[in-house]
Amino acid sequence: MILVVATVRLHPGKGPDYEAAVARIMPQVRAANPDIVFYHAARCREESDTYRVVEAYADQAAMDRHVGSVPLQTSLAGLMPLVADIEIKLHDSVA
């Protein structure tokens, strides 16, 4: 399994816009990519305007399908103006 953790830092004050967009987009992305094991976003308690998106995929092919999917690409185009910085880390499951 592949685990992806994205740290998303927004421009100040853009949290409500991001949360509304993610709440609308995530169900569409999940529906379009049934091989996603886990796909959720959360607001960081310690850092304002910082969010984590945590994703899990059964294998590389499932992740590749997600990355190339139209719903994801469309949603990213709409979200990126809100984002000041993003850091994405890939992890391979060990247990």
**CB 42, CB 82: distance < 8 Å:** no
Domain holding 31: CATH number? 3.30.70.100
Query: Using one digit for the tens of pLDDT, what is the confidence trace for 3-16?
Result: 999 999 999 999 99
- The total number of structural domains that make up the chain: 1
Query: Using one digit for the tens of pLDDT, what is the confidence trace for 18-30?
Result: 999 999 988 888 8
Residue 76 has pLDDT above 90, yes or no: no
Residue 66: Cβ-neighbour burial (10 angstroms; 0-12, 13-18, 19+)? buried
**CB 82, CB 21: distance < 8 Å:** yes
Residue range(s) defining the domain that contains residue 70: 2-92
Q: Average model confidence (pLDDT) for the chain?
A: 93
